Amino acid sequence: MISVEEALTKILNSIQILGSEEKPLLDCLGQVLTEDVYSPFDVPPRDNSAMDGYAVKASNIKGASHKNPKVLKVVGEIAAGSVLDLKVEHRTAIRIMTGAFIPDGADVVVPFEDTDEIDRKEAALSNTEIGICASLAEGRNIRRRGEDISKGERVLKKGKLLCPADIGVLASLGKSVVSVVRRPLVGILATGNEVAEIDRPLPPGKIYNSNSYSLAAQVLQYGGIPKFLGVAPDDVEKLTAAVREGLECDILITSGGVSVGDYDVVKQVLAAEGNVSFWTVRMKPGKPLAFGMFKRSDGKEIPHLGLPGNPVSSMITFEVFARPAIFKMMGRNNLSKSNITAVMEDSIANTDQRRIFTRVAITRKNGKYFAHTTGPQGSGILSSMSKANGLAIIPENIRQLKPGTPVEVMMLDWEEVHD
Ligand code: AMP
Ligand code: MG
Q: State yes or no: pLDDT of 414 exceeds 90.
A: no
Distance, CA 234 to ligand 2 centroid (Å)?
Answer: 8
By C-alpha distance, which of 390, 380, 323 is closest to 358? 390
pLDDT at 260: 75
The predicted-structure confidence for 93-106, as pLDDT tens digits, reads as follows 999 999 999 999 99
Which atom of ligand 1 has the smallest separation from the CA of 257?
A: 3
Strand ranges (E), 83-141: 92-96, 108-111, 129-132
DSSP structure class, residue 195: E
Within 10 Å of residue 176's Cβ, how many Cβ atoms?
Answer: 10
Going 403 to 406 to 407 to 412, the CA torsion angle's sign is positive
Return the half-sphere exposure (C-beta side, CA atoms, 13 A cut-off) of residue 358: 27
With a 6 Å cutoff on the Cβ, whether 234 touches ligand 1 is no
The predicted-structure confidence for 265-278, as pLDDT tens digits, reads as follows 888 999 899 999 99
Q: Model confidence at 417, in pLDDT bands (50, 70, 90)?
A: low
Which atom of ligand 1 has the smallest separation from the CA of 191?
A: 16
With a 6 Å cutoff on the Cβ, whether 190 touches ligand 1 is yes
Q: Which residues contact 135 (CB under 8 A, 6 or more apart)?
A: 61, 62, 63, 64, 65
Nearest CA to ligand 1 atom 8: 310
Nearest CA to ligand 1 atom 3: 256
Q: Which residues surround ligand 2, an ion (CB under 5 A)?
A: 192, 256-257, 309
Residue 213: nearest ligand to its CA?
Answer: 1
With a 6 Å cutoff on the Cβ, whether 259 touches ligand 1 is yes
Inter-CA distances, 414 with 217, 357, 362, 417, Å: 15, 17, 12, 9
By C-alpha distance, which of 205, 134, 167 is closest to 30? 167
Distance, CA 55 to ligand 2 centroid (Å)?
Answer: 76
Q: State yes or no: pLDDT of 263 exceeds 70.
A: no
With a 6 Å cutoff on the Cβ, whether 262 touches ligand 1 is yes
Share of the chain above pLDDT 70, in %: 99
Within 10 Å of residue 335's Cβ, how many Cβ atoms?
Answer: 16
With a 6 Å cutoff on the Cβ, whether 358 touches ligand 1 is no
CA-to-CA distance for 271 and 256, rounded, in angstroms? 15
With a 6 Å cutoff on the Cβ, whether 314 touches ligand 1 is no
Distance, CA 192 to ligand 1 centroid (Å)?
Answer: 7
pTM recorded for the entire structure: 0.92
